[in-house]
Amino acid sequence: MLDNHFKKEEFKKSVKENVKMLYRKTIEEANQEQIFQAVSLAVKDVIIDNWLLTQKQYEKDDPKIVYYLSMEFLMGRALGNNLINLCAYNEVKEALEELGFDLNVIEDQEPDPALGNGGLGRLAACFLDSLATLGYCAYGCGIRYHYGLFKQKIENGFQVEVPDNWLKDGYPFELRRPEYAKEVKFGGYVKVEYDPATGRNNFVQEGYQSVLAIPYDMPIVGYNNKIVNTLRIWDAQAISEFQLDLFDKGDYRKAVEQENLAKNICDVLYPNDNHYAGKELRLKQQYFFISASIQAAIEKFKKSHSDLHDLPKKVTFQLNDTHPTMTVAELMRILLDEEGMTWEEAWEITTHTCAYTNHTIMAEALEKWPIELFSKLLPRIYQIIEEINRRFIQEINNKYPGNQEKVRKMAIIYDGQVKMAHLAIAGGYSVNGVARLHTEILKKQELKDFYEMYPDKFNNKTNGITQRRFLLHGNPLLADWVTDHIGDGWVTDLAQLSKLKVYADDKKAQQEFMNIKYQNKVRLAKYILEHNGIEVDPRSIFDVQVKRLHEYKRQLMNILHVMYLYNQIKEHPEMDFYPRTFIFGAKAAAGYVRAKLTIKLINAVADVVNNDRSINGKLKVVFIENYRVSNAEMIFAAADVSEQISTASKEASGTGNMKFMLNGAVTIGTMDGANVEIVEEVGQENAFIFGLSSDEVINYENNGGYNPMQYFNNDPDIRNVLMQLINGTYSNGDFELFRDIYDSLLNTKSSDRADTYFILADFKAYAEAQKRVEEAYKDEAGWAKKALLNTACSGKFTSDRTIQQYVDEIWHLDKVTIE
Ligand code: CR6
């Protein structure tokens, strides 16, 4: 498989040459960061050859293209992944060893491109990997944020956000393409001109401000197939740099305004996961990258096709959540205003080209822009949405004559707001959820009226993850073991993992499997010691919850349970207890006060528990600082227990759950999101399921909630733990520090419903499930079998499967092979 380009000697020569050219140094003089740059350039050189080949092939085959439009691409480091997909990892590792360098250390020099928050952005990155690997023509379209998701420091137990200046040393895998720049217009007003020649009105935006969108391309390397697709992220540049004559005309103020507009747009990724903040700059970001992307896509289409009516046959715009919904209106604008089509023609094309993925039912994540803000910033786009809305309401009225309730619930513009989800549904041909349960909830609850009106648009695409990054790269020991047993077909066909099932009862296989887990735990323990100064025992159960911090994900329930266990051990020192290490990793949105307080609570509990010698190290709590893609790979590989404990119905899918499963961790979780399908694949007996069902939760919610007080009053264990939040146990005597958390559960003053996420209702069931985990772990062979079966049954959760379903059922792309 070794590509010609990766002849070891040649590669070494090229690294040396790059060090010389870039830094005027010999390889002995260069530091690790410089070696990283030099190695990356050598790798990029190989990639570019394949990139050109791919381009040629696409020009020849003219396949249908999917544009995956997303505000977020949480790519993680590229060097290791590119080497994996070029099948050159081991060769390069050896070459570097011969030069006196360790590839792992070199990989660690790369900043994590963190242009995303969590699951949604990481999903986009997995999808790009699968699209290239399966040979489909795809472009990722996004924003080149100068600052990605903040870096997290923990100071005195609190989260502190540090800017992520990932571009400061230059990013070797990007390619600036100024020749493809596009102009994007904001503000001004729309002038209507009657054109006697056509008998139509022309709509002309005037008095606007412009920004130049400059694309940067990143290569997306397919696995072992020479295909290299493109992630195109747009950066903003002031147009005045190009139009200096503005100054001459004396329009200095406008020039400065445009300069500022350009400066701000791509500054920073909004750090909210599953939460809509309604900021004007965010709206600018959305239109900025959508306008540039759609303009570029139409221009590209027109280069090799004569009739825009064929667009739906050749192009799909997939909207990753509502953030890119502007696509619907921008495409209409181009077809109407620039291409001179009639409304009916343009609408026919648009509604067969756009498709929408919904990623949440959380009300606070729904994007609703105030008309004021929207129409001022995007006057022409707003006009078009008004017309879409007018016609859509007509359609509703035709279908449900006289039913004002339907109009109120479904209109795109209502109550002074533009509802982006409604626009995405009306303006596209497909609406999909991201796990079976989630899609059913959309159909029966959240989007019920839309489902009734357009049943055929709705479909499910259960999320997936790429095994190339999360097993082959992240867990080389297990990857090799799997290949030794069933061959390497799983790398591109994960269903083959089911061939491992025959080893589930095999003593030798079990031992080897658990020995690999042990070695990965040693690797993580070392990382924890280096980064947290906490010593953990790799023989203890590694019980892990890593994901964004959000109340619905219930990290709070996890830490309350740790407090409960600690009480138990203190009260009954003689009690049989299998040593356990609870590991957390999570970033909280900078403005999410309660989430940040939860981080403090976890660290406060860790402080007390880890320093209590009387419990003989039976319990350890670790909060891993700055959880991100690169350390995630190592964490998944080392987990025994995967915490997937969201309030049922709230987690649309989850994807961390799949990464744990692939790496042989056993799930403790609720019947939520993709957990339902995980249990279906691996069997009830190989997971620990507990808690309220989504139906029960929704039922409570529709009937005014439930009363957590009853649990507080009737259960002394729960009462004890809650009292410890306000009696100074974990706050050096400060009664107030954690009072907000206490209040959130019992609602003594806040206006929200008490215990919105049913923590007290599920607490005892969770504790009981944790007890079952402990018992199961004591049975070594039994646990090994469970762990091994989790890996063996994880085949369904590859993003290759997800992408193939998108292709078969929504996109209908053509497969391409490089000759
Ligand atoms: N926060 C869902 O909450 C899902 C991902 C990807 C999320 C999560 O359950 O796995 O999307 N939703 O589909 C949003 O971001 C809106 C997420 O990552």
Which residue positions in the chain have pLDDT lower than 70? 1-6, 241-250, 748-751
Tokens linked to 351: 């509604």
Q: Are 322 and 419 in contact (CB under 8 A)?
A: no
**How far is the centre of ligand 1, averaged over its atoms, from the C-alpha of 596 (Å)?**
20
Cβ of 603: how many Cβ atoms within 10 Å? 22
Mutation probe of ligand 1 site: the residue of 115, 434, 806 with most atoms within 8 A of C-beta: 434
Secondary structure (DSSP) of 104-170: HHHHTTS----BS-SHHHHHHHHHHHHHHHHTB-EEEEEE--SB-SPEEEEETTEEEEE---TTTT-
Q: How far, in Å, CA of 524 to CA of 634, rounded?
A: 7
**How far is the centre of ligand 1, averaged over its atoms, from the C-alpha of 130 (Å)?**
19
Instruction: Tell me the pairing of strands 182-186 and 209-221.
Output: antiparallel
* Ligand 1, atom 6, residue with closest C-alpha: 120
Decide: 80 in ligand 1 pocket, CB within 6 A: no
* Ligand 1, atom 12, residue with closest C-alpha: 359
* pLDDT value, residue 279: 96
Supply angle C-alpha 633, 501, 494, rounded to 5.
Answer: 45
**How far is the centre of ligand 1, averaged over its atoms, from the C-alpha of 100 (Å)?**
42
* pLDDT value, residue 7: 85
Mutation probe of ligand 1 site: the residue of 70, 115, 274, 320 with most atoms within 8 A of C-beta: 274
* pLDDT value, residue 751: 54
Q: Is the pTM of this model over 0.90?
A: yes
Within 8 A by CB and 6+ apart from 401, the residues are none
Buried b (16+ CB within 10 A) or exposed e, 359-371: bbbbeebbbbbeb
**How far is the centre of ligand 1, averaged over its atoms, from the C-alpha of 109 (Å)?**
29
Tokens linked to 316: 């799909």
* pLDDT value, residue 753: 86
Place of tokens 């790496």: 663
Decide: 315 in ligand 1 pocket, CB within 6 A: no
**How far is the centre of ligand 1, averaged over its atoms, from the C-alpha of 554 (Å)?**
15
Which domains, ranges and CATH numbers included, belong to the chain? 62-76+112-459+804-810 (3.40.50.2000), 467-693+757-797 (3.40.50.2000)
Q: How far, in Å, CA of 587 to CA of 585, rounded?
A: 7
The model's pLDDT over 720-762, given as tens digits with 9 standing for 90+, comes to 999 999 999 999 999 999 999 999 999 866 557 899 999 999 9
Mutation probe of ligand 1 site: the residue of 272, 320, 359, 629 with most atoms within 8 A of C-beta: 359
**How far is the centre of ligand 1, averaged over its atoms, from the C-alpha of 652 (Å)?**
6
- Taking the mean position of all CA atoms in its chain, how far away is CA 619? 32
Q: How far, in Å, CA of 797 to CA of 123, rounded?
A: 12
* pLDDT value, residue 743: 96
Place of tokens 């072992």: 224
* pLDDT value, residue 3: 52
Q: Which atom of ligand 1 is nearest to the CA of 274?
A: 16
**How far is the centre of ligand 1, averaged over its atoms, from the C-alpha of 148 (Å)?**
18
* Ligand 1, atom 18, residue with closest C-alpha: 119
* pLDDT value, residue 629: 98
Q: Which atom of ligand 1 is nearest to the CA of 673?
A: 9
Decide: 140 in ligand 1 pocket, CB within 6 A: no
Decide: 274 in ligand 1 pocket, CB within 6 A: yes
* pLDDT value, residue 1: 39
Cβ of 63: how many Cβ atoms within 10 Å? 17
Decide: 770 in ligand 1 pocket, CB within 6 A: no
Q: Which atom of ligand 1 is nearest to the CA of 357?
A: 13
Bridge partners of 418?
369, 413
**How far is the centre of ligand 1, averaged over its atoms, from the C-alpha of 358 (Å)?**
9
Decide: 355 in ligand 1 pocket, CB within 6 A: no
Q: Which atom of ligand 1 is nearest to the CA of 550?
A: 1
Chain length of the chain: 819
Secondary structure (3-state) at 62: coil
Q: How far, in Å, CA of 538 to CA of 710, rounded?
A: 40
Q: Are 266 and 285 in contact (CB under 8 A)?
A: yes
Decide: 520 in ligand 1 pocket, CB within 6 A: no
Q: Are 377 and 187 in contact (CB under 8 A)?
A: yes
Q: How far, in Å, CA of 319 to CA of 277, rounded?
A: 19
Which letter does DSSP use for residue 708 in this model?
T
Residues marked active site are found at 359, 547-548, 553, 655, 659
Decide: 672 in ligand 1 pocket, CB within 6 A: no
